[in-house]
Amino acid sequence: MAGFKPTGLEDFINRERQLPASPVIPLSEAQKAAQALQGGPQIQKFDDRGALVVSENSVNINATAFVTTTASLLALANNPTRKYLLIQNNGADFFVMNFGNQATLLLGIKLAANAVYEMLRPSIQDIYIIGNSAGINVTILEGT
């Protein structure tokens, strides 16, 4: 059959044969975050209980509790070794955070009530937070 061009399923199969073989490994969100922090795909090892075996490439997570006021305050000092940052609003009102400069209710990143802000390649600058109201509980996780 000269000039015959496959279509549909046959065309799809022929295209797939031309692609280089590569294993597809589904990753959870936590594994994706770990890859980003460690600079690329890594083989994860688990012990017989299913717990992740931590390697020398791991990131240490430090938790900080912060309570807002209606004035801009330093919530976390600059850290040149910061590799990960998660800021969680545990309150019923919003707050505003800013990196490197004082925050105002009009200048910075607004985080709504019960919201989370996560950075895999975070700023290493000081973090200032101002609450729309006083008493908003904030959890900050910093990876170094």
Residues of the chain with CATH 2.60.120.770: 61-143
pLDDT of residue 21: 47
Q: How far apart are CA 68 and CA 110, in angstroms?
A: 13
Contact yes or no for 32/84 (Cβ under 8 A): no
Task: Classify 66 as helix, strand or coil.
Answer: strand
- Can you tell me the distance from the alpha carbon of 91 to that of 4, in angstroms, rounded to the nearest whole number? 66
Could you give the CA distance from residue 49 to residue 47 in angstroms, rounded to a whole number? 5
Q: What pLDDT, on the 0 to 100 scale, is given for residue 25?
A: 43
What 3-state DSSP class applies to 10? helix
Q: Report the topology of domain 61-143.
A: Jelly Rolls (2.60.120)
* Confidence (pLDDT) at 24: 42
pTM: 0.62
Query: Which residues have a Cβ under 8 Å from the Cβ of 98 and sit 6 or more positions away?
Result: 72, 104, 107, 108, 109, 127, 128, 129
For residue 110, the SS3 value is: strand
Per-residue pLDDT of the chain (144 residues; tens, 9 = 90+): 555 555 555 655 555 555 444 444 444 555 555 555 555 444 555 666 665 555 546 778 889 999 999 999 999 999 999 999 999 999 999 999 999 999 999 999 999 999 999 988 899 999 999 999 999 999 999 988
Q: Are the beta carbons of 37 and 48 closer than 8 angstroms?
A: no
